[in-house]
Structure 1
Amino acid sequence: MDSGREARNPVEKEEGVTKNEEGLSMASQLAEGRAKTTGLSYQPYWWDAAPRRQGSSAALPQTADVVIVGSGFTGLSAALTLLRNGRSALVLERNVPGFGASTRNGGQIGSGNQKFRVKRLIELRGRKKAEAMLREGVRMLDYIEQLVSTEKIDCHFRRCGRFRAAVRPEHYDAMARDMDDLREIAGVESFMVPRAEQHSEIGSDAFYGGSVLPGDASLHPALYHAGLASRIEELGGQVAGNAAAEAIVSTGAGFTVKTPRGTVACNDVIIATNGYTDGLVPELGRRIVPIGSGLIATGEIPEATFSRLMPKNRVYGNTNRVFYYFRAAPGERRVIWGGRVGRIANNTSPLAFRHLARDMLHVFPDLADVPVTHGWDGMIGYTYDEVPHLGRTAMGLHYAIGYCGTGVSRATYFGHKIALQVIGHRDGKTAFDDLAFPSFPVHPIAKRAVPVVETWYRFRDATKL
């Protein structure tokens, strides 16, 4: 892939210490915990091309057909659907619009059904419901492609395909059986790549082959978010930053939503907060556990090295319990590498991203001398049953949340569908409508247990338990 810029040596020697041109640490230094960086950016790499805007500074309207709490992909997709159907929509964001995970994720797009093997989903839900959920997952992926095309959003959307690497030989065999089941029940095409041939997909010896889903896709999440926001504003909608929903009161005929910038009366409310769900609506707060996700971005990689490491330029993942994922940045020879957030509480310390560099160098040792330019994190929303949910609370508030780390396609699609349900459109029906939405048992303990569970999973990944 040609970045359009002349390849250059990203490192130089100064007084016996390896540095890059901006004074940033090499990936090896970061992995070893000896990085002393002064120029590492702790904002998402994606924001370089699409800086966060404050949002509308206009006074909030006194009334709106629908108020949407949360300005991520769910909220913006819902607002766009409402506006296209003749309703007025106001999107509220406590921070700057798009501050949360919608502009912090890896920009990988799948069918949204990666959490369960097909046979396990059938065991949990029954064959008929499992088939409906899996086929709708495929429609989620198709919908986002259609939306980007119809709305003419320039966000580097590309059907690049996904390579999922097996970290153990037995994982490869299990994956092959699951791909056969997925093709049979949902019509999803895939093919297996044995270890002897995996260099055709990835320049690493760390794996035991893998599967390829050629229909999976990628995009630039911040440009996608900015494109959605622009269409909303063009249609007369408003995305208001620094306007947190502080209280929602039922009036019988509708609702009033209190914010620091004023109170808005509306017919309906959509909660679209996912990993940033708090105590605003306790019924939903008990059903979501926020889990941190961290990412790093490298500097430019020499073309020969890049082409060898990622010959098909797909999106990538693996079969570990503590999952990591990676891809190239659109139009550049940079690697975007993501996984769970570090154990360091201070996310403006290089040590918070050390584990990501370690994982990256385990897969790609050749990147040891490549600079790391960005490190950032965000929150994803997990549900107890690891399934996303949409519906209405006992109070009558609509919601679409709980994407469990696969939110680009799910959030866009669920936002669209919950908006259609709000206006009573027959196309709002989904296979997820009748699923019970369980709370986490002892929710405060569940939130605190996340780091402990992750540490145990990392131990099991490392020891092959």
Structure 2
Amino acid sequence: MAFAQAHLSNLSVPAAERQQALNRIHADPGVPKDATTSSFWLKEPHPQFAQKSSNSLPSEADVVIIGSGVTGASIARTLLQNRAKGSNSHPAVVMLEARDICSGATGRNGGHILETADEYAEFADMFGEAAARKILRFRLAHLREILGVAEEMGLTETAQTRKVQFLSAFFCDEEWKAAKERLGRFKEGMPEESKEWVAYEKDSIPEKIKLSRAAGVIAGPAGALWPYKFVTGVLSRLVSDYPSDFRVEDNTAVRAIQRGKGQGHEYTIETSRGTIHARHVIHCTNAHVGHLVPGLRGRIFPVRGQMSAQNPGEKFPLQATKHSWLFNYDRGFDYLTQLPSGQMMLGGGFARSESLGCADLGVPTDNEMSLAIDIHLSGALSAVFGRESWGRVQGEPIQAMWTGNMGFSADGLPWVGQLPGSVTHRTPDKNKPNVGAEWVCAAFCGEGMVQAWLSGKALATMLLKKDGQSGMDLSWFPEQLLVTEERIATAVLPQTVHDLPVQRQANL
């Protein structure tokens, strides 16, 4: 059962509260609001993007990308590196951001490149073994891809990109048993890819990893990074390498999109700073995509998550380049990385929030926090690692606490591809089928670091192919993530809780 359905059908939560969440999911998410919580990741603005845009907005472009997170950065890089030369539009690619650059979900996430492979069994049951292997290879490839891009662009040290071993700890015997079964299916179905995965029963958990309270631990390859510094580093390099072809415009909220009013360009994009005409428009707004693409409401929707930056206990050894963590409880989970400077970047607590998480479904703002999650995150680390192993915290325990909006989908998969008029409500000109298009790359369901970068690369490749670029391979991209009319018709949440299946357990 997909994430939202499991929460919305939980009979432990009053029907009225679940209905309120469902109403938010089907509502217009709007544009990101100026008022926000302060993300630790954003405390050191990139010098190139620290000042608000002062230059006039370009009047036209080949492609307008709405959103400046990891998805938009990947799309821009792929387009600029592969586009055919000779376009009359300069700049060729313009990126628009409603607030500061990379201040949305990417600048607020966990900085965790984590694929546990838990989903392999679920994908195999849904789509078959071959499709499950393809989806997992796509997700697993992000670790190698992101670390490789960081090295290629000289960002490894700046963005603190590093490979680690994840430790997925289970504190409930029943959940541990189910996890071992999922791991067994993954190893059987993908023996080569799963070689680095190991399981530790309670009595065999190494003492040095400080998880003696767990029922069991699964370990495997993962990565960690400073997401804001990675994305702004990529964008800064692209601006430098393509000064005539790439512009990044912050504090430029898109208010409306119209079709067929440009001179030689199919789209007119009305923004808070003026109007720009473009051949292609790409929606990388994730949780906010339903604002400009109304037909995706109820199919893609916001979910508010909460993160913290904490000082470690004095007895806890520095493991920033060795490990990252996932803590699985009888209800819900937390995720953790450690910076080389020692800070513990802990997020999660969703199922501990008001209405067992329903209060955060459909919430498109990041200017408030859950008191219940704050309490949970503030005390979780000394409990899971053990107070004797954790020790006293020197200085202020909590350095920062903030929220962010993730984009989730009704079927639990990203949406990547060209948008039809049935969802944009902007009817294509049948006499001009190849003029341009609207595209979407969104709904990474809280797992953007193992889905967004290569989804962006795939989306840019689709656009280039539509524009006649040859030799662009997409055989590696899972078809289940594509935008189709069939998916539009079926992958949508109902309007009322009475039309949802019943979920009596609260193990979410």
| TM-score normalised by length of structure 2 | 0.73
Is the deviation greater in 424-433 or in 126-135? Answer: 424-433
Alpha-carbon distance between aligned partners in 1 of 2:202 and 2:316, rounded to the nearest angstrom: 20
2:53 matches 1:46 = no
Alpha-carbon distance between aligned partners in 2 of 1:199 and 1:380, rounded to the nearest angstrom: 35
Task: Indicate the RMSD between aligned Cα atoms, in angstroms.
Answer: 2.9
* Aligned pairs (5 A) from 1:394-409: 394-395=420-421, 396-409=437-450
Partner in structure 2 of residue 175 of structure 1: 179
- 1:285 Cα offset (Å): 2.9
Alpha-carbon distance between aligned partners in 2 of 1:143 and 1:81, rounded to the nearest angstrom: 13
Alpha-carbon distance between aligned partners in 2 of 1:183 and 1:55, rounded to the nearest angstrom: 50
* Aligned pairs (5 A) from 1:43-442: 43-50=38-45, 53-54=50-51, 56-86=53-83, 88-111=92-115, 114=117, 116=119, 118-153=120-155, 154-186=158-190, 187-189=193-195, 190-200=197-207, 202-213=209-220, 215-234=221-240, 235-236=242-243, 237-251=246-260, 254-299=266-311, 301-302=313-314, 305-307=315-317, 313-320=322-329, 321-329=331-339, 331-340=340-349, 342-343=353-354, 347=368, 353-366=374-387, 367=390, 369-370=392-393, 371-395=397-421, 396-424=437-465, 426-429=472-475, 430-432=477-479, 433-434=481-482, 436-437=487-488, 438-442=490-494
Alpha-carbon distance between aligned partners in 2 of 1:427 and 1:151, rounded to the nearest angstrom: 23
Alpha-carbon distance between aligned partners in 2 of 1:101 and 1:115, rounded to the nearest angstrom: 23
Alpha-carbon distance between aligned partners in 2 of 1:377 and 1:83, rounded to the nearest angstrom: 32
Alpha-carbon distance between aligned partners in 1 of 2:473 and 2:327, rounded to the nearest angstrom: 35
- 1:125 Cα offset (Å): 0.9
- 1:350 Cα offset (Å): 6.5
Alpha-carbon distance between aligned partners in 2 of 1:210 and 1:166, rounded to the nearest angstrom: 6
- 1:434 Cα offset (Å): 4.5
- 1:228 Cα offset (Å): 1.7
Partner in structure 2 of residue 8 of structure 1: none
Alpha-carbon distance between aligned partners in 2 of 1:418 and 1:178, rounded to the nearest angstrom: 31
**What do the CA deviations read for 1:391-414 (whole angstroms, capped 9, x no partner)?**
111134111111111102311111
Uncovered stretches (5+) of structure 2, i.e. residues with no partner: 1-35, 85-91, 361-366, 422-436
Q: Given residue 221 of structure 1, which amino acid in structure 2 is its aligned partner?
A: P
Identical-residue share of aligned pairs (%):
24
Uncovered stretches (5+) of structure 1, i.e. residues with no partner: 1-40
Alpha-carbon distance between aligned partners in 2 of 1:362 and 1:242, rounded to the nearest angstrom: 42
- 1:139 Cα offset (Å): 2.1
Query: Is contact 1:202-1:311 (8 Å) kept?
Result: no
- 1:368 Cα offset (Å): 7.4
Q: Given residue 338 of structure 1, which amino acid in structure 2 is its aligned partner?
A: G
When residues 57 and 82 of structure 1 are mapped into structure 2, their CA distance, relative to the original with a 3 A threshold, is farther
Alpha-carbon distance between aligned partners in 1 of 2:269 and 2:391, rounded to the nearest angstrom: 51
**How many residues are paired up?**
406
**What do the CA deviations read for 1:13-50 (whole angstroms, capped 9, x no partner)?**
xxxxxxxxxxxxxxxxxxxxxxxxxxxx9522222344
Alpha-carbon distance between aligned partners in 2 of 1:350 and 1:232, rounded to the nearest angstrom: 40
Alpha-carbon distance between aligned partners in 2 of 1:216 and 1:394, rounded to the nearest angstrom: 36
SS at match of 1:427: coil
Alpha-carbon distance between aligned partners in 2 of 1:167 and 1:47, rounded to the nearest angstrom: 33
- 1:267 Cα offset (Å): 1.1
Alpha-carbon distance between aligned partners in 2 of 1:68 and 1:260, rounded to the nearest angstrom: 15
Query: Is contact 2:112-2:225 (8 Å) kept?
Result: yes
Q: Given residue 175 of structure 2, which amino acid in structure 1 is its aligned partner?
A: H
**What do the CA deviations read for 1:316-349 (whole angstroms, capped 9, x no partner)?**
11334522111212x2222111004554997368
**What do the CA deviations read for 1:196-245 (whole angstroms, capped 9, x no partner)?**
232446313331111111x2111111211221221222122122111111
Q: Given residue 83 of structure 1, which amino acid in structure 2 is its aligned partner?
A: L
Runs of 4+ in 1 over 6 A off after TM superposition: 348-351
- 1:284 Cα offset (Å): 2.3
